[in-house]
Amino acid sequence: MPSLFDPIQLGDISAANRILMSPLTRGRSTDDHVPTDIMVDYYRQRAGAGLIISEGTGISRQGLGWPNAPGLWTDAQVEAWKPVTEAVHQAGGKIVAQIWHMGRLSRPDVIGMAPLSSSATRAPYHKPENPYGEAQAATLDDIARAQDDYATAATNAVRAGFDGVQLHGANGYLIDQFLRDGTNFRDDDYGGSPENRIRFMREAVARVVDAIGAGRTSIRLSPNGETQGADDSDPASVFIPAAAALDALGIGFLELREIAPDGTFGSTDVPKLSPEIRKVFKGPLILNQDYSQEQAQADLDSGLADGIAFGRKFIANPDLVERFRRGAPLNQDDMATWYSKGPEGYIDYPALEDEAA
């Protein structure tokens, strides 16, 4: 069985190892969602990952309701990403852009308009004052425009030097809002049956495949449990056929974020679907959430996964792959600086060489 340190082919991308960096929102872009110079250092430091999946990157003004998250819909954004991707490549790494439409989770105070979703709903919030607005149910024209935006963002990502893209289909964002019967109440071709609820995802991925090629295309899904108010009464009925549809499109890889009853960033008793998804998706399968190095290797040994994506461990350990390789201790991240501006808690975590100096 392969080791975490063995290379892997992810569609058209040759990754040096099977330790991926999962997407991590960090909020260091400008108010206009343009990447900043500090992001060059941040991603360069983490180029030892087999593949970096960038932070969620907006595909449109309406789709990006997170302050100071980056975008890929303007020329200024594309140009500002180029030094980032060049730095990663010069350091020997590979990087894909996670392209993101937040749907009903786009805050009106950020986007300056009403958000869009599969249906007219309002997302819940964990504090009394809810910043989310009532979403407009997407018309067929809205759906076509959103799919155009995914394709354009993918094209822009390649222009910016990314090795490919990952559509964000997880965590209660727009694609997830179409997939789940707890957020999709449509009675047209995009709602009702699992086949219809899968349609938006399948068409969006197909548009990206047409734009940049299947081998440069991937997607992240979160099949089990509730996330940010999005839930499904029978996840297996929709996510297993969704994985089969993705297999038919021939995408480079599929990543699953699966939470557990004892999860440290979300928890659920809903069973994980990766064993069943593994049967229908024949391409590389990447798993994510709360993995230790030992658990990650065990899932490679069993054949359940082809690679493992780590998120929070990469925040405080830019050289995570080397630390795993040497059995070195890990730095602990500071949650207070996850989304703060500036270098603190972003590019100032020491690598092993810095600690030894």
CA-wise closest residue to 307 among 267, 242, 253, 259: 253
Q: What is the SS3 assignment for 254?
A: strand
Do residues 330 and 41 touch, judged by C-beta distance below 8 A? no
Name the active-site residue from 43, 173, 346, 349.
173
DSSP string of 211-266, one letter each residue? HH-GGGEEEEE--SS-BTTB--S-HHHHHHHHHHHHHHHT-SEEEEE---TT-SS-
Distant-in-sequence, close-in-space partners of 137: CB < 8 Å, separation ≥ 6: 117, 118, 119, 120, 186
| Placement of tokens 């759906």 in the chain | 143
Please give the Cα distance from 290 to 307 (Å, whole number): 14
Active site residue 339: no
| Placement of tokens 């960090």 in the chain | 26
Please give the Cα distance from 262 to 344 (Å, whole number): 30
Q: Record the tokens describing residue 299, joined without a space.
A: 């899932």
Q: What is the SS3 assignment for 338?
A: coil
Please report which helix (H) or strand (E) contains residue 287, including its range: strand 285-288
- Total residue length of the chain: 357
Q: Record the tokens describing residue 43, joined without a space.
A: 């991603």
Q: Which residues are catalytic?
A: 173
